[in-house]
Amino acid sequence: MAFHIDPVAGRLAFTGARLLDPATGLDTIGDLLTDGEVIAGFGPGLFAEGVPEGAAVVDCAGLCLAPGLVDIRTQVREPGEEHKGTLASTGQAATAGGVTTMVCLPNTLPVIDDMSVVEFVARRARRVGLTKVYPYGAITQGLAGSKLAELGMLAEAGAVAFTDGVRAVADAQVMRQALNYARTFGLLLVEHPEEPSLAADGDMNAGEMATRLGLTGIPREAEVIMVERDLRLVELTGSRLHFGHISTGQSVDAIRRAKARGLPVTCDTAPPYFALNENAIGEYRTFAKLSPPLRSEADRLAIVEGLADGTIDAIASDHAPQDEDAKRLPFGQAAFGGVGLETLLPVSLELYHNGHLTLLEVLALLTHRPAHVFGLPAGRLAVGAAADLTLFDPDRAWQVREYELHSKSKNTPFDYRPVQGRVVLTVVDGRRVFALDP
C-alpha cells in the first residue's frame, strides 16, 4: 500500500468506472473528471471525444467510484495520547479505508472544550493533508457532566456537533439545559447512551456468557434506559439529538417509535454491532472488549433490521485505538475499544453481500446520510463539489490482519476475519492520497 500524496490538485480523468452516488441513486458505467479540488463533470460518455489534455488518466476497469466515506465517530488521540494514535496515523488508516471526511471525538488531552483545542486540531489536520477532520466540541466542561461548555463559542471556532464522547451526560437537568441551548442556536448534540451506574465496573454484555466466563455484565437496559430518558427530554425541549453506536434491539425499537411520532432524533451504529456478537469474545479475547459491549445474536439481528428499514441513519467506524499495554491484560483490566477505519467499508459491505441491503443503500449509510445529519459538505457526486472520492472493488477478498493495518494501534475486533471489498484509490480535494499496491 502506498501513501505517495499528490503535492497539488491537478486534473484526474477516471475512465470506465461504475459511478455510484447514493444521494441521487446513480449507478452507471461512466467517467469522471476532477479539475483542481472539485469535480468538473461525470457521467456516461463524458470522454467520448477524448480525455482532456493534461489530465492524468485513472483506468477504473469497471471498479466502483463513489463519494469518499464520511465517518462521524473517530478517536484520533492527538493531542495527549499520541502513543495510541496521531492525526497522521489516523489519516493514513482513514484514507486506506476510503474515508475522506471524519469527525473526531473531544476526549483528547486537553479535552476539546476550548476554542484553542478546536483550532489546534483543524490546523494539524490541514498540515497532515490527508482526510478532512472536523472536531466535536464537548457538551460539558472537562467531560465532567456538570457544567456546560461554551457551546456557542466552540461552534464559532469550528465544532460541528457536541458530545461528551464515551461518557453519557448522566445528569438529566444538565442534559435538558444542553438540549435547550442547542435548540436555540441550531446545534446538534450526540449522546453516548449508557446509564453509567448500571454499566459501572462491567466488562461485557450481561447474560449467560458473562456468567460462564466469570465477568461482570453490562445489561442492555443501561443503553435503552438512557435512550428512553433522552427521548423524553427531546420531547420536552424540541431539540435535535443523535445517538451514537446503538447496540441493542430495544434501543432500535425505541428510536423507531420516536421517529414515527415525529421526534427530531437520529442514530448510528458501528460494524461490530451488526457483524459480531458476544461470542467473539471467545476465551477472554480483549480485542473484542468494546464500549458498548458486543451483544447477543438477537440484538445483532435487530441492528441489521434497523439498518434495513432506515431506523438507523448511519454507520460509523467507532475507531477507538488502544496501545498494546492497554489490551494485553486480563479481560477485566483491559481497556475498551477497537480500531475500525480500515474495516469500515469491507465489513459494512457484508450487508450487501448477504442480501440485507443494496450496494447503494450501504454506501448511503457511509456517505451522504451521515453528512446530511451533521451538515457536512461531503458524501455526494456533484459538479462543483469537493473531489473527495474512493475507488473500490466490492468483491475483492482479503483477510484482516492486525499487523497490516496502518493505524498506530492494532486492536481490531475483526482480526483474521475474511472480508470482501477493498479500497484501491482514495482522493481528497483532487489529490491522490492513497493507492493500493498492485
User: Which of 85, 39, 47 shows the shortest CA–CA distance to 326?
Assistant: 85
Active site residues: 318
Q: Do the strands 204-205 and 189-191 form a parallel or antiparallel pair, or are they unpaired?
A: unpaired
Instruction: Using alpha carbons, list the distances in angstroms from residue 216 to 86, 161, 199, 205.
Output: 32, 33, 9, 8
The 10 Å Cβ neighbour count of residue 158 is 14
Cell of 67: 463519494
Q: Phi and psi of 330, rounded to 5°? A: -55, 145
Q: Which string of b and e fits 229-256 if b means at least 16 CB within 10 Å? A: bbbebbeebebbbbbbbbbbbbbbbbbb
What is the SS3 assignment for 339?
coil
Alpha carbon 17 to its chain's center: 26
What is the SS3 assignment for 26?
strand
Peptide bond connecting 110 to the previous residue in cis, omega within 30 degrees of 0: yes
Q: Tell me the residue type at 178.
A: A
Q: What is the dihedral of CA 274, 189, 219, 212, to 10 degrees?
A: 50
Cα distance from N-terminal residue to C-terminal residue, the chain: 8
